[in-house]
Amino acid sequence: MAASMASYVENFISGFDDSAAKLIAKHLAAKDVSWTEIIEDLGQYLTSPTTSTRARATRLIADILHYIPNDLLTEKEVNLLITYICEKLKDHHSLQPPALYGLLALCKAPHLSSEDLSMVCHQIFTEVNCQSLAQGDRRIVFNLFYALLTTRLKDVQKLGGDFIIGFIQMMDSEKDPRNLVISFACAQIIIRNIPLGAFKEEMFEVVSCYFPIDFSPSQTDPSGIKKEDLILGLRACLAASPLFAEYCLPLLMEKLTSELKSAKIDALETLAACAKTYGANNLYEFQSAFFSSIKKEVFLSGDPAVETAALSALTSLVTAIATGVTTSNKRHSLEGFVDEILQECKNHLLQPELMLMLSTGRLLQSVAMATSQSCDQVVRAVMPLLVDTFNKQTQSTPKHNVVLVVNGFIGVTQCFTYSDNNPNPILTYKAQLVDMYKKSLGEDTSSIQVLGLRGLDKLLVLGAQQCECTDVLRNVMCTNPSLAENTVYPTLFKLLHNENMEVPGQECLDRPGVLEVIAGITKGSHCLQLATKEIYKLLNNETFHSLYPSVTKCLARLSSSCSSDPACLGSLTGGVKVIHNLVVSRCRVEAWYRVLSDVEVLSNLAEFIRHQAAHWDHSVSSEMQSLFMESFFRNVSSNDNQDDDLDVFKGQPHNFCPLKASCDTVFVSLLTPVLASGTKQCDHVHFPELTARLAGFMLEPLDPAPHLTVCKCLAAIINKEPLGKTLDELLTSIKDKLTSVLELQGQGHHVSALSWVTKALVLRGHSFVKDFVNMMFNLLGSSDLGHSAAAGFCTLLTDQSDVLTSEMHANIRIMYRQRFFVEYLSSIVSGYQASGPETKQNWLLALSYLMQGLDKHVLIPELNKIYPLLVQSLLQDDLDLQLVTMETLSDLICSAPEVISKQIDSLIPKLLKMTTYKPSMKVRISALKCLAGLCSLPIPVLVPYKAQVVRALVPVLGDRKRLVRAQAVTARQEWIMFDAEDK
Amino acid sequence: MSLDNANPVVYERTREREVLPEDEDDDIEDLFDDREVFDLIREINDPEHPLTLEELNVVDSENVHVNDTEGTVEVLFTPTIPHCSMATLIGLSIRVKLLRALPPRFKVDVKIAPGTHASEDAVNKQLADKERVAAALENSHLLKVVNQCLASKRKLG
């Protein structure tokens, strides 16, 4: 073996066989031979007097080192080899390249100790004159440093300044691009990781002398180094440490004024890269100068590449300034800088006819893009100006420019995330912007329209509120009817007809949602016609039964929003006929009946009719009335009691018959708006008969819902019937019937019928009122019906939304509620005093309804009379009464503090007692709210009770219900603090 | 008076607690929980800034521990900066607020979150000493300052 080794070595030295190194390395790795043997074989060559032989022998060792596995050598062997090879560095200069090559291999060895590492560096720095080496050998040196810096950074850091100055000497005046790429990488690591100390300027000089890079690679260059690699390598070095700021920023300033385009771009891009590391403190001094240069480039260069670089440099600059610590010096703050920029540029925005305006827009947008604060500041300064400018312009080009710039700003704000507490600044100007976009949609030039649409689109993404989207869509459709006809409605109705709307991974409106959108976007007769045409079809389609509540709601909304437009009434009246036909023809089919008699559907349909009926002219009104009257009366007299298979209709007439068959009475709710919405009472021949029938029905034991519709219908008619014999007769007959029924076997529904009739009369102030009200008062004293009668006062004095409204031209006397109060208060008070204990609470309840929603000026003069009753109400064991009373009390505490102050002595103990009222948390909460409310009274009134209340509320703090506890905390807090000085 | 921390970070406020159907059911008893006590103290005003303790992250729901059955409440609060001179006042305000708002069966501990204040132990000791708290509230000037911290926002505004 030893012999073959010797021959390998010999062959290599003589230059015959370069593969010897590989073979020897293989044997070494397999431990067939040892290093000692090889060195022995090499001995004669290593000490040979011929320089070239020595060099060749060193080369062999270096090659072997490169071929063997990294971790083969022990620390001791590494140490020996390093010591030996370092000696070779001092030998003849031609031995240096192979020695360096060997060291490069050793530096990658994991067993290299830090002492050896330091020795290698030291020896290289003292012995090697890098500049005199060939390019490839210099590269070995840089690769060696790169290997050390990337794998053994900790040990290199220990060398500190020595390493830095050594490296600077090595790198100095390097010209080869391949070596520069490596040495820039080394320099960057050094600058980042080793304190530069006294050498910061030298380090900067040795790197920055290459700036700006001017290098054009030859086509045949095998290394494939590109100009970009060098630029990026150098830039990373310059941006590596804030210590370079003082040298680099002036250099960049100088290069910015260069005539050379590439130098300018390089300087701008380098500024962008450096700004962040250099930090606000280093930049303050230069911020204005840089801004002027950047502004000049943006305004004057006209070269897109330069402009892009300049804008991104500006963004980085502002971002860096924003990281600065807030100081009182306004010049040295983000706000100050942005202010300065705004001052210089703002005026250009006022001249949208110039190109400068667009450049300014881009400039300010890059400032805004930097941070959310700068964005906020710029947007708030600029938006009002832009909107104002837009409104002042008359020509289309300037308007176009303004919209373009505004859109840009909206786009910029999308870069940041906003929360409810910190909303997007654009939203502040939403109203003005939407207005501006609407105007731009109205422009003749299509490019502005397109911009307007784009802006709206972006704005809607920000707000993402469906109502605004529908607003916009509505406006767009108004100006573009064809869009509505060809795109919007077909899409929406296709969605409706599409059963499976769930598209995976995509949020989509459900079908009721689509109907809501349709109701929201439809405006104007054309759109209404398109929409209603389809919706009426849906009504006749039984596959849509489950959607009926939504479909009818949509109709009701359409009618509410479009009725006031006379052009729309045609489409809407068509709907009434459709509904009429539907009800009359389908109501004996069980599936249809179930859907149509649904309370919600019916009330939506009634609302649909109600809104438009108020706008019908006389002829339409008559037509509709006779249409409904005919069908409602058609089967009244005939007596066909044909049996039907369906259970629901057992014993019911074969056809639609709302005034006879109890199952159809709910449909009277459709009749009410037709008959009672107009200004003029119906004059149909059957009308007197109708009222008589309704009056009869009212006393029959119907289900609550149909009974209510009958009562409402009759009340609406009575309210409008002109004074005269007919009305008197009707009222007398109702009164007689009611009196007799109530005397014999009065029931709840009779009482409610009575209260509805009374309501109709009270509203118009009819002379019969007194009789009817007295009937109700009499009932209050009844033990069975007293409670219903008290509830009747609620019906009597609460405004309804669907009947007896001023929108439906009901006959309402002004201040009817106040008159009623004044007129009947004393009756209630005396009735209360005269009544037995079990009916007292009915009177109190009636009184509480009487006072609800009443103007305080009417109430206060009577308060002394009422107050004892209120206190009594609190003592009653009636939940409704207590709650209503406490609500009244809360109102009074605010509106009549002086009265409450006088009575506080009796009030506080009662309220305190109720704070522990076991059965209902609502009572406890109301009582606590009242107590808290008392704290608004004058302090001297409260002080005597403070200790008592504060103590009494302690147990309530531990109430079993959390909502009560929360209220107790508030009340107790108010009582503890009401006399605090800052009040 | 110069401010200890002139430029604090402002945190988002939590949403109001959602009212669940069982909260409105008379038959179910609601136990005291962490969130309820947190709701009591989150609206307390900072002595220096027009912000609440929640907005300054001095109190957060993670650091409120309530055990209803054992009747214990522990609140750990975090001063905005480690040498905040207002720490004792903030602790006192939290203590007084809970004193006024919790039933007496609860034993309340108000402490500085470990490792967030330079003189943590001293402040904790002061806050735990009932006599000292009571004495502090006898001081009308101090009581006024505490009441200002506890005053509800709508009154200030």
Q: In this predicted model, what pLDDT tens digit does every residue of A824-871 receive, in sequence order?
A: 888 888 888 888 878 888 888 888 888 877 777 888 788 878 888 888
**Quick check: bond before A940 cis, omega within 30?**
no
Q: Please tell me the distance from the alpha carbon of residue A297 to that of residue A255, in angstroms, as a whole number.
A: 13
A694 domain residue, yes or no: no
| A648 or B140, greater pLDDT | B140
> Would you place residue A661 in the very low, low, confident or very high pLDDT band (cuts 50, 70, 90)?
low
Q: What residue of A is the nearest CA neighbor of B29?
A: A960
CB pairs under 8 A between A and B: 57
Q: How many residues does chain B have?
A: 157
A921 domain residue, yes or no: no
Closest in A419, A960, A969 to B12, CB measured: A419
A703 domain residue, yes or no: no
Is the CB of residue A753 less than 8 Å from the CB of residue A738?
Answer: yes
* Beta-ladder partners of A368: none
| A645 or A628, greater pLDDT | A628
Residue-level pLDDT at A447? 75
Q: Which helix (H) or strand (E) holds B77?
A: strand B72-77
User: Does A977 contact B at CB distance below 8 Å?
Assistant: yes
CA separation, residue A380 to residues A339, A361, A364, A389 (Å): 12, 14, 12, 15
What single letter denotes the amino acid at residue B88? T
Cβ neighbourhood burial of B2 (10 Å; 0-12, 13-18, 19+): exposed
> Would you place residue A392 in the very low, low, confident or very high pLDDT band (cuts 50, 70, 90)?
confident
Could you report the per-residue pLDDT of A506-516, keeping only the tens digit for each?
445 677 878 88
Closest in B26, B36, B150 to A920, CB measured: B26
> Would you place residue A258 in the very low, low, confident or very high pLDDT band (cuts 50, 70, 90)?
confident
Count other Cβ atoms within 10 Å, centred on residue A209: 9
Are residues B39 and A955, on separate chains, in Cβ contact within 8 Å? no
Is the CB of residue A814 less than 8 Å from the CB of residue A770?
Answer: no
- B chain contacts of residue A326, beta-carbon cutoff 8 Å: 6-7
Q: For chain A, what is the mean pLDDT?
A: 83
Is the CB of residue A928 less than 8 Å from the CB of residue A949?
Answer: no
Are residues A962 and B30, on separate chains, in Cβ contact within 8 Å? yes
> Would you place residue A505 in the very low, low, confident or very high pLDDT band (cuts 50, 70, 90)?
very low
> Would you place residue B110 in the very low, low, confident or very high pLDDT band (cuts 50, 70, 90)?
very high
Q: Please tell me the distance from the alpha carbon of residue A882 to that of residue A694, in angstroms, as a whole number.
A: 36
Here the tokens at position A684 are: 């149909």
Could you report the per-residue pLDDT of A920-938, keeping only the tens digit for each?
888 899 999 999 999 888 8
Please state whether beta strands B72-77 and B107-112 pair in parallel, antiparallel, or not at all (unpaired): parallel
A499 domain residue, yes or no: yes
Q: What residue of A is the nearest CA neighbor of B19?
A: A963
Q: Please tell me the distance from the alpha carbon of residue B151 to that of residue A943, in angstroms, as a whole number.
A: 19
Q: Please tell me the distance from the alpha carbon of residue A153 to that of residue A848, in angstroms, as a whole number.
A: 87
- B chain contacts of residue A919, beta-carbon cutoff 8 Å: 26
> Would you place residue B97 in the very low, low, confident or very high pLDDT band (cuts 50, 70, 90)?
very high
Max avg pLDDT among A248-252, A581-585, A656-660: A248-252
Residue A205 predicted with pLDDT over 70: yes
Closest in B102, B147, B152 to A957, CB measured: B102
Architecture in CATH for domain B29-156: 2-Layer Sandwich (3.30)
- A chain contacts of residue B102, beta-carbon cutoff 8 Å: 957
Question: In chain B, what percentage of residues exceed pLDDT 70?
Answer: 91
Is the CB of residue A890 less than 8 Å from the CB of residue A933?
Answer: yes
Last residue of some domain: A240, A262, A295? A240
User: Does A29 contact B at CB distance below 8 Å?
Assistant: no
CA distance B121 to chain A (A): 30
- B chain contacts of residue A969, beta-carbon cutoff 8 Å: 40, 100-101
Cβ neighbourhood burial of A200 (10 Å; 0-12, 13-18, 19+): middle
Are residues B12 and A954, on separate chains, in Cβ contact within 8 Å? no
Residue A950 predicted with pLDDT over 90: yes
Last residue of some domain: A210, A240, A270? A240
Interface test with A, best of B24, B147, B150, B156 (most A CBs within 10 A): B147
Could you report the per-residue pLDDT of A858-867, keeping only the tens digit for each?
887 888 788 8
Q: Residue holding tokens 């004057």?
A: A300
Residue A641 predicted with pLDDT over 60: no
Which residues span the domain enclosing A161? 138-240
Q: Is B45 helix (H, G, I), strand (E, B) or coil?
A: strand
Count other Cβ atoms within 10 Å, centred on residue B96: 21
User: Does A980 contact B at CB distance below 8 Å?
Assistant: yes
Residue-level pLDDT at B112? 92
- A chain contacts of residue B39, beta-carbon cutoff 8 Å: 966
With a CB-CB cutoff of 8 Å, which residues 38-67 of chain B face chain A? 39-40
User: Does A958 contact B at CB distance below 8 Å?
Assistant: yes
Q: Please tell me the distance from the alpha carbon of residue B58 to that of residue B38, in angstroms, as a whole number.
A: 12
Last residue of some domain: A636, A655, A685? A685
User: Does A259 contact B at CB distance below 8 Å?
Assistant: no
Here the tokens at position A118 are: 């330091």
- A chain contacts of residue B144, beta-carbon cutoff 8 Å: 980-982
A123 domain residue, yes or no: no
Please state whether beta strands B107-112 and B64-67 pair in parallel, antiparallel, or not at all (unpaired): unpaired
Are residues A955 and B103, on separate chains, in Cβ contact within 8 Å? yes
| A504 or A917, greater pLDDT | A917
- Stretch among A163-172, A391-400, A678-687, A804-813 having the lowest mean pLDDT: A678-687
A196 domain residue, yes or no: yes
Q: Which of A207, A968, A437 is nearest to A426 (CA)?
A: A437
Residue-level pLDDT at A850? 84
Q: Which of A139, A140, A201 is nearest to A174 (CA)?
A: A139
With a CB-CB cutoff of 8 Å, which residues 586-645 of chain A face chain B? none
A750 domain residue, yes or no: no
Q: Residue holding tokens 């919706």?
A: A535
Q: Is B73 helix (H, G, I), strand (E, B) or coil?
A: strand
Residue A655 predicted with pLDDT over 70: no
- B chain contacts of residue A981, beta-carbon cutoff 8 Å: 144
A195 domain residue, yes or no: yes
Residue-level pLDDT at A225? 82
Cβ neighbourhood burial of A111 (10 Å; 0-12, 13-18, 19+): middle
Q: How far apart are the first and last CA of chain B?
A: 23
Whether the predicted model's global pTM rises above the 0.90 cut? no
Question: In chain A, what percentage of residues exceed pLDDT 70?
Answer: 92
Q: Please tell me the distance from the alpha carbon of residue A812 to that of residue A761, in angstroms, as a whole number.
A: 9
Residue A136 predicted with pLDDT over 70: yes
Q: Which of A507, A555, A772 is nearest to A670 (CA)?
A: A555
CA distance A920 to chain B (A): 6
Q: What residue of B is the nearest CA neighbor of A958?
A: B103
User: Does A578 contact B at CB distance below 8 Å?
Assistant: no
- Stretch among A459-473, A600-614, A831-845, B45-59 having the lowest mean pLDDT: A459-473
Could you report the per-residue pLDDT of B56-87, keeping only the tens digit for each?
888 988 899 999 999 999 999 998 888 878 88
With a CB-CB cutoff of 8 Å, which residues 5-34 of chain B face chain A? 6-7, 12-13, 19, 23-24, 26, 29-30
Could you report the per-residue pLDDT of B16-39, keeping only the tens digit for each?
888 888 888 888 888 999 999 999
Residue A463 predicted with pLDDT over 80: no
> Would you place residue A644 in the very low, low, confident or very high pLDDT band (cuts 50, 70, 90)?
very low
Among left, alpha and beta (phi > 0; psi -120 to 50; other), residue A903 is alpha
Residue-level pLDDT at A2? 56
Is the CB of residue A474 less than 8 Å from the CB of residue A520?
Answer: yes
Among left, alpha and beta (phi > 0; psi -120 to 50; other), residue A493 is alpha
Count other Cβ atoms within 10 Å, centred on residue A343: 10
| A207 or A483, greater pLDDT | A207
CA distance A947 to chain B (A): 13
Domain-wise residue ranges, chain B:
29-156
CA distance B143 to chain A (A): 9
Residue-level pLDDT at A331? 62
Q: Which of A648, A647, A803 is nearest to A718 (CA)?
A: A803
Q: What residue of A is the nearest CA neighbor of B15?
A: A420
CA distance B102 to chain A (A): 6
- B chain contacts of residue A982, beta-carbon cutoff 8 Å: 144, 147-148, 151, 155
CA separation, residue B10 to residues A879, B47, B53, B77 (Å): 45, 15, 10, 16
The number of domains in chain A is: 2
Residue A638 predicted with pLDDT over 60: no
